[in-house]
Structure 1
Amino acid sequence: MALHESVLEEFGLAPLWVRRGMSVAQEIAVETGIEQGERRAPPPAQEQTQGRMQAPADARQPIKQPSQPSQQSRAPEPPAFDAPPDDDFAWFDDQPAHAPVEARREAPEPSSIQTLDWDALSQQVAACERCRLCEKRTNTVFGVGDRNADWMLIGEAPGENEDRVGEPFVGQAGKLLDNMLRSLMLARDSNVYIANVIKCRPPGNRNPEPDEVARCEPYLQRQVALVKPKLIVALGRFAAQSLLKTDASISSLRGRVHEYEGVPVIVTYHPAYLLRSLPDKAKAWADLCLARDTWLAAGGVPSSAAK
């Protein structure tokens, strides 16, 4: 199936394909030259002597000219540069739509990310091209709130509204989350820090792929190290499974204290889920009560006496 040259250019693939086509053409030219050189080479002396001794029986019989190759020995035509071979589509899928492979190799390794301060980390996330999600995002969603908070809330990935605004948990789900926090005398702009496992919106709000989570996790690990929270609340199944490295259901993870990077973790429902399943709000409240008790046991100070 031929791909139009403008389509290749739109995806940034035309130069690569032309280089591949030129390479194939050069190889064919070399092979053709070798074949022609072999045909034009003079026969050995012994064969020449035998040729003079044996005259053709019929003088009218045409003699084949060695300089004219037969149809079977003719070199194949070089392939057109605007269409890849049928068996060479793997490279098409592997190439990024915007960022070159070289740029992604230059992305900092997790070891270097763990040395960044807040400003450097924020700048690194804003310019990140470690995975394919950078190709479709409008904004990265770094995090928001008190960077010295005892409570750290972690969601899964930005949605459409978060991608547009550049802040986690906005819209109706964000309003519900703010109300949930207010019931515990907490607020995102004073004593809570909120972040996501993934910093870029997956297309169509799909679940992030495992490799996307792996490439983005060093950023979250550094955020946890910088905040030094006494408690983490995982909001939703995907966030809980990513933090705890498990495929267990959210119902089996609720009601227990887990751990991430040495910090206690409580699992509860995502606010967007609670908007569709009102009966589970009571369960979410029970999770928040467990989170409060865990925080107090870890040395947390009630907000009435907070600094």
Structure 2
Amino acid sequence: MTRAEPEADERMGEALDALLGWYARAGVSTFASDRPRDRFAETEAETERRRLARPASAAQGVAPGAGPQPQGSAALPERRAAAPPPRPRAPSIALRSDEALASEAREAAAKATNLAELQALLADFTGCGLKATAKNLVFGNGAETAEIMFVGEAPGRDEDLAGEPFVGRSGRLLDRMLAAIAIKREDVRVTNTVPWRPPGNRTPTPAETETCLPFTLRHIELVNPRFLICLGSPSTKALLRSEEGIMRLRGRWASVTLPNGVAVPTMAMLHPAYLLRQPSQKRLAWRDLLSLRQKLDTKE
């Protein structure tokens, strides 16, 4: 393999990411069909069908001064080529506003009385276009009545394949981070603000996050954790309703008021995937972990 080949593949990947990003900004969240449509071929086929459907006299023309064909002459049978079979029509998609989708999500999430019901309702929800491109729903795992609940951004490739959150390299790092303050992974609850993987591991759009957020809030209500930890900037902004950067918000305790009126003490932390890219920032994560440990040891 020449050096130019991997560079060409990288450029192609960047072009595809840019195209998907343009689709997202344009509001394209799902596909009408799993097959591309050749509009040029369809136009040519329709033109040919109309030409063959015209009467023979109109198609060939009548010579000037020529009279009508004698009655006794044998009429030539008209030959027509069979028209191509019609293409199946793409299913129509009802367009709904972002607020309508979020309202639908709130109504659905409110019906769940336990985590199993919430997962089933989320699996049936069609208001988020990411569902059409993801392989699996990534709902959550861990203790169903945990003291600590972690909420990340969105599944990555490993999570999408496994159907479980934080199972790849970032998941293993999270396990080690918890072990450093004497917490077992199975004793905490882990989920994401968006349960389906965005194409190309892009950041979920604000509309996608807002559509899925009612299910995340209901998830937190049902677990009823003592402390809530937002992993990464998108999760922090969605739950704390803040536009400040993660570096300003991390390590500071605030609270998230759930739809049922319960206020949960909440802290933002750097996402393990970010720490894998920036190992020097692990010192900040260690400070935040110590703050969490101190809160756990404080009887309030």
Q: If the TM-score is normalised by the length of the shorter chain, which range does it land in? A: 0.5 to 0.7
How many angstroms apart in 1 are the aligned matches of 2:133 and 2:111? 28
Counterpart code for 1:251: M
**1:143/1:219 CA distance change after superposition, 3 Å:** same
**1:138/1:280 CA distance change after superposition, 3 Å:** same
How many angstroms apart in 2 are the aligned matches of 1:217 and 1:13? 35
Is 2:134–2:197's contact at 8 Å kept on the other side of the alignment?
A: yes
> What SS class does the counterpart of residue 198 from structure 1 fall into?
coil
Cα displacement (A) at 1:112: 4.1
Is 1:283 matched with 2:284? yes
Give the length in aligned residue pairs.
Answer: 212
Cα displacement (A) at 1:11: 5.6
Which residue among 225, 228, 242 is the counterpart of 2:224? 228
Is 1:174 matched with 2:171? yes
**1:114/1:295 CA distance change after superposition, 3 Å:** farther
> What SS class does the counterpart of residue 259 from structure 1 fall into?
strand
Aligned residue in 2 for 1:44? none
Aligned residue in 2 for 1:271? 272
Q: Which ranges of 4 or more aligned residues in structure 1 deviate by more than 6 Å?
A: none
Counterpart code for 1:200: W
What's the CA shift string for 1:90-116, capped at 9, x where partnerless? Answer: xx9xx65xxx669x97x9541342231
Cα displacement (A) at 1:134: 1.1
**1:108/1:281 CA distance change after superposition, 3 Å:** same
Which residue among 134, 138, 154 is the counterpart of 2:135? 138
Counterpart code for 1:146: A
Is 1:266–1:290's contact at 8 Å kept on the other side of the alignment?
A: no
Aligned residue in 1 for 2:109? 113
Q: Which blocks of at least 5 consecutive residues in structure 1 are unaligned?
A: 1-6, 15-81, 83-91, 300-307
Aligned residue in 1 for 2:60? none
> What SS class does the counterpart of residue 124 from structure 1 fall into?
helix
Cα displacement (A) at 1:255: 2.6
How many angstroms apart in 2 are the aligned matches of 1:276 and 1:147? 31
Which residue among 244, 249, 252 is the counterpart of 2:245? 249
Q: Which blocks of at least 5 consecutive residues in structure 2 are unaligned?
A: 1-30, 39-85, 258-262
Cα displacement (A) at 1:120: 1.1
Aligned residue in 1 for 2:69? none
How many angstroms apart in 2 are the aligned matches of 1:214 and 1:13? 32
Aligned residue in 2 for 1:296? 297
Counterpart code for 2:194: I
> What SS class does the counterpart of residue 122 from structure 2 fall into?
helix
Is 2:154–2:196's contact at 8 Å kept on the other side of the alignment?
A: yes
Is 1:144–1:188's contact at 8 Å kept on the other side of the alignment?
A: no
How many angstroms apart in 2 are the aligned matches of 1:234 and 1:185? 19
Cα displacement (A) at 1:292: 2.0
Counterpart code for 1:192: V
Is 1:197–1:216's contact at 8 Å kept on the other side of the alignment?
A: yes
Map residues 52-201 of structure 1 onto 2, 5 A cutoff: 108-116=104-112, 117-189=114-186, 191-201=187-197
Counterpart code for 1:295: L
Is 2:105–2:211's contact at 8 Å kept on the other side of the alignment?
A: no
RMSD in angstroms over aligned alpha carbons? 3.1
> What SS class does the counterpart of residue 185 from structure 2 fall into?
coil
Counterpart code for 1:239: S
Is 2:152–2:271's contact at 8 Å kept on the other side of the alignment?
A: yes
> What SS class does the counterpart of residue 241 from structure 1 fall into?
helix
Aligned residue in 2 for 1:57? none
**1:9/1:198 CA distance change after superposition, 3 Å:** closer
Aligned residue in 1 for 2:211? 215
